[in-house]
Structure 1
Amino acid sequence: MTTFLLLTFALLLDAYAGEPRWLWSRIPHPAVIMGSAIESLDNALNKSSEARPEGTIAILLLVTGAGIIGWIISLLGPLVSILGVAVLLAQKSLIDHVRAVSNGLRQSEMSGSQALSRIVGRDVNQLTPPETARAAIESLAENFSDGVIAPAFWFLIAGFPGILVYKTVNTADSMIG
């Protein structure tokens, strides 16, 4: 099966199923596992004035580990790859969160702001309804790139190792800069 076809099925699966809470309440989401690995290496290696070389070592270890794990997963067959890619994409979750802002704004300013606070890091309490809508659209644009376009690109370029390496580097950038 071609990489493009695998990606198409993964996008359809993510659009339909998204992030099933019943599953992620029982096992850790891959992003949680990545975050734990990043935090462990950051705590172990980011302690001294030698943070830059140690940070480089941490990223190289993370990228190598993600690449190897991605390669192993890719050997498990197309169905496992489709499921894995669908998990690493964030289109349904992102659409659901932005839709919640839209629906919230239809109810009240406060409901829209509360929904927005789940997807942005800024203070949303003083935003007007148009500012709330604009912030949701801005978040959609930025996160669509990070959560859908870039992972899909790296999957097309380098298969499952590519998407896993991208998600690991993107998560590390969010956590430690």
Structure 2
Amino acid sequence: MLFNFVYFTPEYTQILVLAMLVGWLIDRYLGEPKPAWHPVVWIGYYLDYYGKRIAPKVADAEVLDEKHATKEFLLGAFFWLLAALVLLGVALKFQQAISVLAWYWQGLIFGILLKPLFSWCMLRDEVVAVEFALENSLNTGRQQLSRLVSRDVSQLQAREVRESAIETLAENLNDSVISPLFWFVLTGLPGVLLYRFANTADAMWGYRGERGGRVWTWAGKWAARADDVLSWPGARITALLMYLAVARMPTVSLWREAGVTSSPNGGWTMGAMALILDVRLSKPGVYVLHAQGAEVDSSHIRLAVKLCERAIWLWFVVASLCLFCF
């Protein structure tokens, strides 16, 4: 059986390694499935539908009391847990159903199902496109960046656009690649599906204050905390992989930079990126990482992408070796 918390059999290891290889090849050569077949898109529909029913509109939120805030929190937690339990149940049933197949068929099927739950090539292409857009004009660069971030980009200068792109790349190296693969190796299809749900829920619900005309401070609190917990190990693994990719080990500087941001996880990957590239990264009015670093220029997005690709290759090598030697 693939889902095994206790002990990795040789067959289990072969299934995991083959599935990751198949998923990586699909990501590289075929890309993302169409929206109609994309599980993350389906998750997004669910979150959008129920999010509008639990998060009050800005005008209504101004008169809400503590009792209503508690209700929003409980509703947010309920609809998060409801979807999580359904997804886990479906994934477990499916996993059990195909466990009778030969290991290579299981590996192939799981690789196909794994692919939509992690994404590197699309992330890389979107970030690289920011630099190409900046070569056209600052406004075009801002528009491309707005596809990647939720912050207001209208006042950002070219340096700040590049900084935001690199920060997004560093954060999503964990959120979109390493953490999904980590949970897949650890818990199989149920784990990676739960993680992608939690990460998507955080992206759509996990805000303090207003977004999209609604107030998410309480309605999205459970989703934000759940993602923090599930992303915690992956963020630190990602930062370590980035250092190992350049044959270095983290120093106390990384711990210091990781604490600059309010996120318990984002600071690790962004801080590692800033220190390794020796550049200054910031979110205006919020934080500055590696303040003494060089100013980001047109070459740094390419260098950041190259660093991430090395870290991903290192993940596959280390994960495969650990599985076979477990």
The answer on 1:8 being equivalent to 2:21 is yes
Partner of 2:186: helix, strand, or coil?
A: helix
Given the two structures, how large is their TM-score scaled by the length of structure 1? 0.84
Structure with the bigger RCO (C-alpha within 8 Å, sep 6+) is 1
Partner of 1:2: helix, strand, or coil?
A: helix
Structure 2's unaligned 5+ residue stretches are 1-13, 57-67, 99-105, 206-219, 221-326
CA 1:68 to 1:105, structure 2 compared with 1: closer, same or farther past 3 Å? same
CA 1:108 to 1:42, structure 2 compared with 1: closer, same or farther past 3 Å? closer
CA 1:54 to 1:116, structure 2 compared with 1: closer, same or farther past 3 Å? closer
- The aligned counterpart of 1:147 is 176
CA 1:101 to 1:59, structure 2 compared with 1: closer, same or farther past 3 Å? same
Pairwise CA distance, 1:44: 6.2
CA distance in 2, matches of 1:111, 1:90: 24
- The aligned counterpart of 1:116 is 145
Structure 1's unaligned 5+ residue stretches are none
CA distance in 2, matches of 1:40, 1:123: 24
- The aligned counterpart of 1:29 is 38
- Correspondence for 1:61 among 61, 74, 82: 82
CA distance in 2, matches of 1:46, 1:119: 23
CA distance in 1, matches of 2:140, 2:50: 39
CA distance in 2, matches of 1:121, 1:40: 20
Pairwise CA distance, 1:161: 0.6
- The aligned counterpart of 2:93 is 72
CA distance in 2, matches of 1:107, 1:55: 43
Alignment RMSD: 2.3
> Is the CA contact (8 Å cut-off) linking 1:10 and 1:85 kept in structure 2?
yes
Q: Deviations over 1:7-30 (max 9, x none)?
A: 13212321222225xx33xx2421
Q: Deviations over 1:136-160 (max 9, x none)?
A: 1011111221111111111111101
1:35-50 to 2 correspondences below 5 Å: 35-42=44-51, 49-50=70-71
> Is the CA contact (8 Å cut-off) linking 1:11 and 1:89 kept in structure 2?
no
Moved over 6 A (4+): 44-47
CA 1:134 to 1:78, structure 2 compared with 1: closer, same or farther past 3 Å? same
CA distance in 2, matches of 1:125, 1:35: 26
- Correspondence for 2:120 among 91, 94, 102: 91
- Choose 1 or 2 for highest CA Rg: 2
CA distance in 2, matches of 1:85, 1:40: 25
Q: Deviations over 1:121-148 (max 9, x none)?
A: 2222322222211111011111221111
Pairwise CA distance, 1:54: 3.7
The answer on 1:51 being equivalent to 2:80 is no
- The alignment covers a number of residue pairs equal to 173
CA 1:43 to 1:120, structure 2 compared with 1: closer, same or farther past 3 Å? closer
- Correspondence for 2:165 among 136, 139, 153: 136
